[in-house]
């Protein structure tokens, strides 16, 4: 299949409520998913939603984040909270993970706890900002072979899924930011190497690039 152009903020397709996919196992949907995966890899991303290549359908793909190792030190936990950043070696680990294909996804929040994390987006290139996300979620959906997907996840995995599924509802991450003045250029953040967000230090942007 072929990598497609990723459309950017300002394109009205990114503002639409995407349509449900009626036949997840059709050849057309399998071709769409293949194009999405190629486009994600071509752009060096860790996730992509169908609207980002101009197709307003409810499908997302992402590199399934590995489970974080157990840590007993708070500083280690904070560092582990920022995988996927441009320049972060853990980004390559994430991109090497199996790809999850999720059609007609649904998200259930499991508690009200949220956390701030830096996000970027392939449709908002060059920028990043702190976004609050639910820490623990359950997500369900369908794969291209008709299999049912049902997972309970937390942390970065939960963040990736929430970010991607927002695209299906016409939401870009800047719309989730509590303070839009904190929107910044990724390369500037990398220069200072460390960002303070509400008294929490996060080493380099998570840069979902999704």
Residue 189 maps to which CATH number?
A: 3.90.45.10
Tell me the catalytic residues. 164
Six token digits for residue 17: 């409520």
Inside any domain, residue 114: yes
- pTM of the full predicted structure? 0.83
Decide: 44 and 85 in contact? Cβ < 8 Å: no
137 occurs within a structural domain? yes
Please report whether residue 208 resides in a domain.
no
CB atoms closer than 10 angstroms to residue 64: 17
* Residues in contact with 30: Cβ distance below 8 Å, sequence separation at least 6, in sequence order: 144
Q: Is residue 209 part of a domain?
A: no
In a domain, 84, yes or no: yes
Q: What is the largest CA-CA distance in the chain?
A: 50
5 part of a folded domain: no
Q: Token pair 């839009």 is at which residue?
A: 180
With a cut of 50, list the residues of the chain below it in pLDDT. 71-83, 85-87, 195-206
Cα separation of 85 and 181, whole Å?
21
Total tally of structural domains belonging to the chain: 1
pLDDT tens track for 165-198 = 999 999 999 999 999 999 999 988 877 755 444 4
Instruction: Read off the pLDDT of residues 148-165 as tens digits, 9 standing for 90 and up.
Output: 999 999 999 999 999 999
Q: Is residue 46 part of a domain?
A: yes
Range of the domain at 89: 12-203
Q: Determine the 3-state secondary structure of 134 from DSSP.
A: strand
With respect to residue 21, please indicate whether it lies within any of the assigned structural domains: yes
């Amino acid at each position: 299949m072929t990598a497609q152009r990723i459309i950017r903020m300002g394109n009205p397709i990114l503002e639409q409520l995407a349509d449900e996919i009626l036949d997840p196992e059709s050849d057309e949907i399998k071709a769409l998913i293949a194009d999405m995966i190629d486009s994600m890899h071509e752009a060096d991303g860790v996730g992509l939603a169908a609207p980002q290549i101009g197709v307003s359908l409810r499908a997302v793909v992402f590199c399934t984040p590995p489970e974080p190792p157990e840590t007993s030190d708070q500083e280690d936990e904070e560092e582990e909270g920022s995988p996927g950043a441009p320049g972060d070696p853990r980004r390559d680990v994430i991109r090497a993970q199996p790809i999850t294909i999720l059609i007609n996804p649904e998200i259930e929040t499991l508690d009200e706890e949220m956390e701030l994390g830096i996000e970027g987006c392939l449709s908002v290139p060059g920028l990043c900002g702190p976004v609050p996300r639910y820490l623990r979620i359950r997500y369900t959906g369908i794969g291209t072979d008709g299999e049912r997907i049902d997972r309970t996840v937390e942390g970065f995995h939960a963040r990736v899924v929430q970010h991607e599924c927002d695209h299906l509802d016409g939401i870009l991450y800047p719309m989730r930011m509590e303070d839009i003045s904190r929107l910044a250029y990724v390369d500037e953040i990398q220069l200072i190497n460390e960002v303070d967000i509400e008294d929490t230090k996060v080493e380099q942007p998570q840069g979902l690039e999704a």
